[in-house]
Structures are given as C-alpha cells and as structure tokens.
Amino acid sequence: MLIVMQVDASEEQVRRVCAVIEELGYEARPMPGRQRTTVGLVGNDGRVDGSRLEALPGVSEVIHVSKPYKQVSKEWRAEPTVVKVGPGLAVGGNAVVVMAGPCSVESEAQIMAAAQAVKQHGATVLRAGAFKPRSSPYSFQGLGLEGLKLLARAREATGLRIVTEAMDPEGADLVAEYADIIQVGARNMQNYSLLKKVGKLRKPVLLKRGLSATIQELLLSAEYILAEGNPDVILCERGVRGFDSATRNLFDLSAIPVVKSVSHLPIVADPSHGVGHRDMVTPMARAAVAAGADGLLVEVHPTPDRALSDGAQSLYPEQFARMMQETRLIAEAIGRKVATA
Ligand code: PEP
Ligand code: MN
C-alpha cells in the first residue's frame, strides 16, 4: 500500500502517517520525492484498512498495490481450476459445459419434458430453481423440497447433473443433498452467511454476479467460499443493471476475459438473465463461448408461454437445439468442444 502525501504536507504530517502505520504493526518507508512524499506500507497481509490512513491530515490518496483477494487470484494458483461435477464431467477444462432448463421446477410433467429436451439436444446439466428468490413476494416462490425431489427424479431418468439454487444457510444442506452444483443467485452474492455456509460444504458452487456488483466484488465473494475450504467455485456472469431498458440487464461479456486475466476460477455465462428476451439469447450465448466462457447457463422451457417465471427469456426446445449446433461450431473454432455425456 502506498500513502501519497499532499504537495504541501508538513514533515509532522508525514511522521504522523508513519506512526499510525507502525501502530498498526507494519513497517513505514517514507520516500521523499521532488514534489511530494509517498509513504510505503510494507508487509500488508490484506488486513490493512486504508480508510484509516486516507483520513489523516496531509494525505492525498491511498494506492492499493496488491489485490484484496488472495486464493481466487492467479498469483495464488497459476493453473486453471477444473471443477469436477460428478464422474466424467468438469467445468474449467477444454470442454464447454451447457447447463439448461427452466427457470423454476413447476411440475413433474414440466421438469421431465424439459430434462428430456435439453438432454436430447446435448446439455449435460439440468438447471431449475426449487427455491426462487423473486423480486415480488406475490410471485411464484418455487416448489421447495418437492421441487428438489422432482429434480432428483429427472436426474435418475436422464443422467443429467443438477444445478439448483440455495437461498439461505439453513436451506443449503437440503439443496446439497439433492444438487450436483449449488447455485448462489445474484441477489445473494453478498449474503456472507450463505457464502460461508457453502464454503463448508463439499459440493461445487455456482456463484452468480450480483445485480450491480463489480468483478472485484464477485471475486471477493468467491474468496469467502475458498477461505472456508471449498475450492470448487464456478463464477457466472449474468448481466448487471444498466440504464437501457432494451435488455433486462447489461450482459457484460468483457467480464469473461477480465476474470480469466486475474483468476484461475472457471466462469460460465448466463445470457438468459443477461438479456431477458429469448430472441437475443442465442447470439449472446455464441458470443460468450467465443469470449472464452467455460460453460453456459440457459433457460429452456417445454412451453415458455405457460412458464411460471421468466417465460419471455426461455428458449423453445427447437431454439435450444439450434443454439447448441451453433455453439459447437464456435467452440471448435477456438479449439474447444461442447461437453458430452
Ligand atoms: C435464475 O438463475 O433463475 C436466477 C434467479 O438468476 P439470478 O440470480 O441471476 O437472477
Ligand atoms: Mn430465471
């Protein structure tokens, strides 16, 4: 950490900064320049709260030299993390993993039809929420435990792995019993009790970017999970709040190469919540794979017009079939392939 002093800072003010640094248990190294002095804080273990130094008289700014996260960083681990999702399937290797299914589990007939359709067209993971974090308390809240049981039945029938959301620490154990991947939704990206809880479980976690979260905040949330001992985190870009209502969110494709440049964790893309309209999902799915996404999370419904949630962004099975064909071509063009069962 570097503490840059104001041009007119007095020697007394520089001494005060050094004294506070030493009081905090670190070494202070004043570096006088032609115009101003900069004080280096040596030995920062990530625990230094820069705001205490920022407010001292004579300080112009505090520059953070190292990143606030550790274990999610490439400096901590150079090789990419490959998250195993049961036997024969992994996220973060050469194969692009497609996770598809309805927003919510609605009934046995609906989830079975959805599972069969996405399996037929080449998905390897079935997505669907049993516990739904809805913006309105009057919207469909999901089938809960009954939904988890239906997902288990769909897995039995198709061999697809299951990704489904846990909304709170109390429910995470239950979700972990049924799911192959525990989803932490956008609204819960900064639910630190939930992050600590899934960090203690031995199941892969799909962590979605928060509604208005920066990439650094996403990585810090992943850090919570790794810090508790669970290394199997898959990040997910699902769009952030924008100012333009033409799409539901602003799907941030650039998050994919940004994450790849600083972290070893795999990242998948959710173009469905990213754009919110089914006709725009496939172009963004193609783009995400081209940008280096390790997988896709896509909403597909056997009858989207009757969906209890997110019908407008759910693909018809035929649209999904086409999306898969195109995605395979893009994956091949960059030396990857789409994961197969
Ligand atoms: C979902 O995946 O259905 C969902 C609720 O997504 P998000 O948390 O990204 O809004
Ligand atoms: Mn949804």
From atom 10 of ligand 1, which residue's Cα is the shortest distance away? Answer: 186
pLDDT at 66: 86
CA of residue 247 to ligand 1 center, whole Å: 15
Q: Are residues 107 and 227 in the same domain?
A: yes
CA distances from 191 to 87, 112, 168, 173, 273 (A): 30, 32, 8, 16, 20
User: Mean pLDDT across the stretch 126-136?
Assistant: 96
226, 92: one domain = yes
- Is 90 exceeded by the pLDDT of residue 49? no
Determine the Cα–Cα distance for residues 315 and 33; give it in Å rounded to an integer.
61
Residue 326 lies in a domain: yes
Q: How many C-beta neighbours within 10 Å does residue 176 have?
A: 18
| CATH code (residue 164) | 3.20.20.70
What ligand 1 atom has the least distance to the C-alpha of 209? Answer: 9
- 76 within some domain: no
Q: pTM of the prediction? A: 0.94
Residue range 174-218, pLDDT digits in tens: 999 999 999 999 999 999 999 999 999 999 999 999 999 999 999
**Whether 191 and 232 share a structural domain:** yes
Report the pocket of ligand 1 as residue ranges, CB < 6 Å.
103, 129, 133, 185-187, 208, 238, 273
Whether residues 117 and 232 share a domain: the answer is: yes
pLDDT at 242: 96
In a domain, 72, yes or no: no
pLDDT at residue 45 in the model = 81
CA of 51 to the centre of ligand 1 (A): 34
Domain-embedded: residue 173? yes
CA 61 to chain centre: 31
47 confidence band (pLDDT: 50, 70, 90): confident
- pLDDT value for 228: 98
Is there a single domain that holds both residue 51 and residue 105?
Answer: no
* 292 C-alpha to ligand 1 centroid (Å): 21
Query: Does residue 88 sit within a domain?
Result: yes
Give the domain CATH number at 26: 3.30.70.1140
- Note the pLDDT tens digit of each residue in 71-90: 999 999 999 999 999 999 99
In a domain, 116, yes or no: yes
User: By percentage, how much of the chain surpasses pLDDT 90?
Assistant: 96
Q: Which domain holds residue 13?
A: 2-63
* Helix (H/G/I), strand (E/B), else coil: 116: helix
CA distance between the termini of the chain: 48
Q: How many domains does the chain have?
A: 2
